[in-house]
Amino acid sequence: MVVFIDLETTGLEPRNGSILEIAVVTTDDELNEVGEPLVSLVKPLHGLGYEAMDDFVYEMHTKSGLLTRLYEGHHGDTEMGWGRVTPSAMARDLPRRCDVEQMLIGAFQVAPRSLIMAGSSIHFDRAWLDEHMGDFTKLFSHRMIDVSSFTECAKRWAPEIYAKRPGLGPDGKPVPQHRALDDIRMSIETLRYYRKAGFVG
């Protein structure tokens, strides 16, 4: 069993921000999805929601629709159309991170260190989970499957495979969704592609 995880967060530094969305998809060893995905928005920590985002992250989460899902009354009215959430905007009635963590732990009745975590640049997500949901990460082995590593290897050793990987736009560059479940499914699709193109004849 492989557990793919993706997070949306307020930035790059786990100690100074909040997890905003988490998605978890379990697959078998053939990368077939097993069961239903677990997806949840997460109530930002006080003062570490939109307040912790720089302009790049704020715009990214505005374009994806995530901020609209997280906050009531969010409207952009600046020249660029990415108006800041006002301080009076209240987070929706969302589950707290501790409640989301308990839901995730309850979904996996396994021994500690027995699960394999997977995803794209999964070290980033794991750093946030270690900081904010440490009991959940105790279920996982120290070993991980990072889809981004396959991409970097293909870029160097198999450019013809690299050029045809899934998720590229007309300009040949990746088109990220910046929503947790969409990004997980792209990671799984990409790993399936590398498996077929480079690991199985």
Which one is predicted more confidently, 68 or 100?
100
Q: Report the pLDDT value the prediction gives residue 88, as an integer from 0 to 100.
A: 61
Q: Which among 174, 196, 184 has a CA at the least distance from the CA of 39?
A: 184
User: What percent of the chain lies above the pLDDT cut of 70?
Assistant: 89
Strand pairing of 140-146 and 115-119? parallel
Mean pLDDT over residues 36-56, rounded? 94
Tokens 């949306």 found at: 8
Q: Report the pLDDT value the prediction gives residue 140, as an integer from 0 to 100.
A: 98
Inform me whether the pLDDT recorded for 50 exceeds 70. yes
CATH classification of the domain holding 190: 3.30.420.10
Range of 138's domain? 2-199
Inform me whether the pLDDT recorded for 91 exceeds 90. no
Whole-prediction pTM: 0.90
Q: Report the pLDDT value the prediction gives residue 177, as an integer from 0 to 100.
A: 83
* Average pLDDT, rounded, for the chain: 90
Which one is predicted more confidently, 114 or 84?
114
Inform me whether the pLDDT recorded for 186 exceeds 60. yes
Q: Report the pLDDT value the prediction gives residue 77, as an integer from 0 to 100.
A: 41
Coil, strand or helix at 170: coil
Mean pLDDT over residues 33-58, rounded? 94
How far from 94 is each of 20, 59, 78, CA to CA, in Å? 10, 22, 28
The number of distinct structural domains making up the chain is 1
Mean pLDDT over residues 148-171, rounded? 93
- Supply 190's token pair: 């990409």
Which one is predicted more confidently, 170 or 188?
188
Q: Report the pLDDT value the prediction gives residue 173, as an integer from 0 to 100.
A: 83
Q: CB neighbours (10 Å) of residue 161?
A: 18
Q: What distance in Å separates the CA atoms of residue 173 and residue 181, rounded to the nearest whole number?
A: 20
How far from 112 is each of 4, 105, 118, CA to CA, in Å? 17, 11, 16
Coil, strand or helix at 164: coil
Q: Report the pLDDT value the prediction gives residue 129, as an integer from 0 to 100.
A: 98
